[in-house]
Amino acid sequence: MTTRRHALMAMAVLPASGWLQCASAQAATHHDHAYTRWDSMLKKHVKWLPDNHQSRVAYAGFQADREELKAVLGALSAVTQASFDAWSREQQMAFLINAYNAFTIELVLTRYPDLRSIKDLGSFVQSAWKKKFFSLLGEPRHLDWIEHEQLRPRYADPRVHTAIVCASIGCPALRPEAFTAPRLDAQLEDGMTRFLGDRTRNRYQNGQLEVSQIFKWFREDFEKGHKGFRTVQDVFARYASQLTPLPEGQAALKAKTVPIGYLGYDWALNDLGR
């Protein structure tokens, strides 16, 4: 029977490339679906603001813990397509959301602190979200691949727009915890509740609803029937109590008679230190 000692000896005689493949396969097989190290980093470096609707990121803290972050990213990159395909829907979504957020922070750190906005990392010919700067599921990837080629079309849950965070003040809050499969639905719902309750991004006043550009850019995602949503008005009717404490305002939102306007989007870096 093969012993642990024999297995280690066999690995020792492998060429470097073979050892790395073994290590990668082992990491993928034993993937931590609790995302313990990533969760710890988020709790350490992401803070809710007093309103509990917005958060800020201590990029300087992530920068100081860069080696730990790289270990987190390495574990994400080690997952194979075959392993991913065998997971549940919730496990896949949690993995992709965590990967998006973790690699976004890594992208910011490539120029931090000399950076005012993530958009500054792009150019006229290529946006920051199109840069292939990491590997995921065995291929070079960019952030748009996670969002537009995986999360949006494959899982059809528009609440992901309050879960994946683009490192900007105008974005929904980055949670100070990792997404996990057992809590995924509750985390996504909490993200929507907090975001729609954030008066700087979404508000009802003077008989009009002013909301984030997210509901304009991704309107079609909110109108595909998730939780019965057929129009964006359905979304605002469901979350009427978050958008306004006024009974008459909530009634108008539920009647879907309120005109909708869109607020400007703040692309400034969501940095705790600024």
Distance of alpha carbon 265 from alpha carbon 193, whole angstroms? 19
Asked if residue 3 has pLDDT above 60, the reply is no
Average pLDDT over residues 180-195: 98
Comparing CA positions, the residue from 168, 256, 177 lying closest to residue 212 is: 168
In the chain, at which residue ranges do the beta strands (DSSP E only) sit? 46-48, 55-57, 134-136, 139-141, 203-205, 208-211, 260-262
Cα-Cα end-to-end distance for the chain = 60
pLDDT at residue 1 tops 70: no
User: Where is average pLDDT lowest: 4-8, 80-84, 90-94, 143-147?
Assistant: 4-8
Judge residue 58's burial from the number of C-beta atoms within 10 Å of its C-beta, 0-12 exposed, 13-18 middle, 19 or more buried: middle
pLDDT, residue 14, reads: 38
Cα–Cα distance measured from residue 56 to residue 74, given in angstroms and rounded to the nearest whole number:
25
Q: Grade residue 185 by pLDDT with cuts at 50, 70 and 90.
A: very high
* Mean pLDDT, rounded, for 28-33: 81
pLDDT score at 180: 98
Q: What percent of the chain has pLDDT over 90?
A: 85
Contacts from 73-77 at CB under 8 Å and sequence distance 24+?
73/102, 73/103, 73/106, 73/134, 74/27, 75/27, 75/31, 75/32, 75/37, 76/102, 76/103, 76/136, 77/134, 77/135, 77/136
Instruction: Give the chain's length.
Output: 274
What distance in Å separates the CA atoms of residue 28 and residue 137, rounded to the nearest whole number?
A: 10
CA distance 118 to 174: 15
- pLDDT score recorded for residue 29: 58
Among 194, 159, 243, 178, residue whose Cα is nearest residue 49: 194
DSSP β-ladder status, 203-205 and 46-48: unpaired
